[in-house]
Amino acid sequence: MTDDERGVDQVEPTELWQAVLRTAVDPIIVIDQDGVVLTANEATERLFGYTTDDLIGRNVSALMPEPYRSAHDGYLDRYLTTGEARIIGIGREVEARRADGTVFPIALAVSEIAWNGRSWFTGIIHDLSERQMVEAQLVAAKEGLEERVRQRTAELEASMTELARSNRDLEQFAYIASHDLQAPLRNVRQGLELIDEHLQETFGHGFDPETTELRDLTVAAVERMEQMIDGLLSYSRLDRSQRPAEGTVDLRELADQVVRQMSLDFTEVDARVELSELPTVPGDELQIRQLLQNLLENAYKYHDHDQPLEISLQATETDDGMWLISIGDNGIGIDPDQRERVFELFRRAHPGYDGVGLGLAICKRIVERHGGDIWVETGQNGGSVFSFTIPRSDDG
Ligand code: ADP
């Protein structure tokens, strides 16, 4: 491109510079060393609401609010005598004042023109009002957000306290109800025996075969209810607020004992129990015994009649300081959609079998009270693998 095409030879450099200054987007003001305005551009008029004619000859401090206004002359003097610069050649964020008195933030960059022993100063001003507004909105949004987080946290804490309270009430209720239900149930059972005796004494015979059957059904129902109540009582005794008794438990020895206790059952189904090396863990011996017992009794109860029962007990270390204990069987297994629910109170996946559905709820509570977790998966042979974690040390 030639100079001709650019058009630069049609314009005087001075005129070009004047046009640049006049049309610059940011206000530009030139003052002398007394602070008197020599000239200003159109952007200055727009931003400050003065005409250039108004400004020329006035002290530039008219465009500043206090305390900048009073300090300005002193500042210029100090600079001219000591050379100490606070804005000149540096630039700073300060406040400015419009003709209508409103104050707003600006970025001010001042440069010096030294000529023939005198100085002039050029100030280029950038309006920061919009940036300040956006910053204020951001701060307000942040504060609003923090307030909401505070509120939500408070609500959450309140509902957790409420939940803990209603849990305690429920525990208390379960305990009292199951405890108090024991006596009337005993009365029902004794009542049936007394009726039988009474019939013997009065008529010389007890229940006839038909009523005997009804009595037996009633006794079976009473026994089932007794089992449920016993289970509920053990469950509520494992109150979460009390820590398990402190001690260490040799899992291998405990598992050996439980297996020995169940040897008759196991022999009956031709069971093979494989115990690998098991660790000693911190915990409450009675509770851990109950845990192993419930899991091994279930493996026996839910075995597959078509094949000899195989049970294996294994332990592995996890990366987060726990032992992972797994008890696998080759029994009838559990439907995937029932796997989580079988740990709930009274939840049963195979209703045709004896039981009241509390064993696994008790296991879960024991494991959680020891700081671990329990779950069940399907084994490779279609049976169940119950796994639980337990910390390797007290502080684990
Ligand atoms: P219960 O045995 O008295 O029914 P549990 O709480 O011990 O109660 O077990 C809940 C349910 O989980 C059982 O009813 C059964 O359906 C299922 N279950 C537990 N252990 C096994 C297992 N080893 N194999 C298959 N199903 C099991």
- Map out the domains of the chain as residue ranges: 3-127, 133-240, 248-391
First to last CA, the chain: 78
Q: Is 50 helix (H, G, I), strand (E, B) or coil?
A: coil
Name the band, by pLDDT with cuts 50, 70 and 90, for residue 207: confident
Among 332, 348, 381, the mutation site with the greatest number of ligand 1 atoms within 8 A of its Cβ is 348
Residues 6+ apart with CB under 8 A from 218: 188, 192
* Residue that the structure tokens 């239900």 belong to: 181
Q: Which fold has domain 133-240?
A: Helix Hairpins (1.10.287)
Atom of ligand 1 nearest to the CA of 331: 24
Does residue 202 have a pLDDT over 60?
yes
What percent of the chain has pLDDT above 90?
60
Atom of ligand 1 nearest to the CA of 361: 6
Name the band, by pLDDT with cuts 50, 70 and 90, for residue 6: low
Which residue pairs, CB below 8 angstroms and at least 24 apart, start in 240-246?
240/167, 240/171, 240/365, 240/368, 240/369, 241/168, 243/369, 244/283, 244/284, 244/287, 244/366, 244/369, 244/370, 245/284, 245/285, 245/286, 245/287, 246/282, 246/284, 246/394
Atom of ligand 1 nearest to the CA of 343: 6
Looking at residue 396, what is its pLDDT?
42
CA dihedral 34, 38, 44, 49 (to 10 degrees): 80
Q: How far apart are CA 323 and CA 391, in angstroms?
A: 6
The average confidence (pLDDT) of the chain is 90
Q: Name the residue with the closest Cα to ligand 1, atom 1.
A: 357
Name the band, by pLDDT with cuts 50, 70 and 90, for residue 298: very high
Does residue 381 have a pLDDT over 80?
yes
- Peptide bond just before 279 cis, omega within 30 deg: no
296: number of CA atoms within 13 Å, CB side? 27
Looking at residue 347, what is its pLDDT?
93
Atom of ligand 1 nearest to the CA of 332: 25
Among 342, 343, 367, the mutation site with the greatest number of ligand 1 atoms within 8 A of its Cβ is 342
The token duo for 177 is 């109800």
CA dihedral 263, 307, 352, 264 (to 10 degrees): -10
Name the band, by pLDDT with cuts 50, 70 and 90, for residue 278: very high
Atom of ligand 1 nearest to the CA of 386: 23
Atom of ligand 1 nearest to the CA of 358: 6
At 159-176, the pLDDT tens digits run: 999 988 887 888 788 888
Using CB distances shorter than 6 Å, the residues near ligand 1 are: 294, 298-299, 302, 329, 331-334, 342, 347-350, 355-361, 384
DSSP assignments along 174-204, one per residue = HHHHHHHHHHHHHHHHHHHHHHHHHHHHHHS
CA–centroid distance, residue 375 to ligand 1 (Å): 12
DSSP 341: G
Q: Is 282 helix (H, G, I), strand (E, B) or coil?
A: strand
Q: How far apart are CA 222 and CA 186, in angstroms?
A: 9
Q: How far apart are CA 307 and CA 330, in angstroms?
A: 9
CA–centroid distance, residue 131 to ligand 1 (Å): 66
Does residue 136 have a pLDDT over 90?
yes
CA–centroid distance, residue 357 to ligand 1 (Å): 7
CA–centroid distance, residue 376 to ligand 1 (Å): 11
CA–centroid distance, residue 393 to ligand 1 (Å): 30
Q: Name the residue with the closest Cα to ligand 1, atom 14.
A: 348
Q: Which residue has the higher pLDDT, 4 or 314?
A: 314
What is the dotted CATH code of the domain comprising 3-127? 3.30.450.20
Q: Which residues pair with 115 in a beta bridge?
A: 118
Does residue 241 have a pLDDT over 70?
no
Q: Name the residue with the closest Cα to ligand 1, atom 23.
A: 299
Name the strands in the sheet holding 28-32, side by side, starting at the edge strand that comes first in the sequence. 37-40, 28-32, 118-127, 103-115, 92-97
CA–centroid distance, residue 43 to ligand 1 (Å): 84
Residues 6+ apart with CB under 8 A from 262: 296, 297, 300
Same fold, 133-240 and 248-391: no
What is the dotted CATH code of the domain comprising 248-391? 3.30.565.10
